[in-house]
Amino acid sequence: MTSALRREYLAAMGLESWVVRQPSGAGAPPIMAATASVAQALRPATGFEVAADAVAKPGALHREAGFDWAQLRERVAACTRCGLSATRTQTVFGVGNLQAQWLIVGEAPGADEDRAGEPFVGRAGQLLNAMLRAIGLPREQVYIANTLKCRPPQNRDPQPNETAECFPFLERQIELLKPKIMLVVGRIAAHNLLRTEVSLSRLRQQVHLFGASRIPLVVTYHPAYLLRTPSDKRKAWEDLKFAREVSARG
Ligand code: SF4
């Protein structure tokens, strides 16, 4: 990507004056073995640190195991496993490149997504696209999904039973995609994937490992939050660069 083009995307993020660093080379801190204590894992990170105790441990065999992409999509479209099926316009399965190395995971569809049947459309989606392009990733090169496939009414937080019922769909998407890295946007998605209630600010800037495949997982702010709190866009940009470095070293 040319520097002029990157400046354009950074401007779209509201970060006109930022200088892009290249990914660290051989001198960058290595990813540490996953042996840290909770206290160690949650201390302010200075490099590539693995938050070992936040490793998610989903069941080895879950409800959706074995289904292929087409079958899974059909099962989501027909799902009535929780009350959100009664209020949705349509399910929002996920979208993107099935060979993608990056999986972006958000919380749940909003009003725009519920109407379109696609995650991250509307203003938050446009900001996500700009964030991805700023690190050289067109939307077409990633896969995007949510932890919940139906919109909660009035965009309220998902309830535990809704999350529990829906999570196997995302688990199967992850198994099928086999991403090289997961970028999780927002507190609720991070909490669901990492099975923690640690604040997002303390989950950022660390490499978490997801599931038995120990997929590197990086947490950052949700684009909708960044639209409401533009002063945190700088932190999001640091997270994106961090994720890119993690991916480059994988
Ligand atoms: S949110 Fe998930 S579990 Fe609930 S009805 Fe929609 S697809 Fe099914």
Q: Over the stretch 90-99, which tens digit does the pLDDT of each residue have? A: 999 999 999 9
Q: Say what the pLDDT of residue 176 is.
A: 98
Pocket-testing residue among 64, 82, 147, ligand 1, by greatest number of atoms within 8 A of Cβ: 82
Binding-site residues, ligand 1, Cβ < 6 A:
76, 79-82, 84-85, 91, 148-150, 162, 165-166
* pLDDT value at 4 more than 70: no
- Averaged pLDDT score across all residues of the chain: 84
pLDDT of residue 56: 43
Query: How far, in Å, is the centroid of ligand 1 from the Cα of 54?
Result: 25
Output 92 or 54, whichever has higher pLDDT: 92
Mean pLDDT of 112-119: 97
For ligand 1, the distance from its centroid to the CA atom of residue 93, given in whole angstroms, is: 10
> Looking at the predicted structure, is the pLDDT value of residue 144 above 90?
yes
Task: Identify which of 67, 81, 171 to mutate to test ligand 1's pocket (most ligand atoms within 8 A of the CB).
Answer: 81
- pTM of this prediction? 0.83
Rounded CA separation 113/149 (Å): 10
Tell me which of 149, 156, 171 to substitute to probe ligand 1's pocket, judged by most ligand atoms within 8 Å of the beta carbon. Answer: 149
Smallest CA separation from ligand 1 atom 1, residue:
150
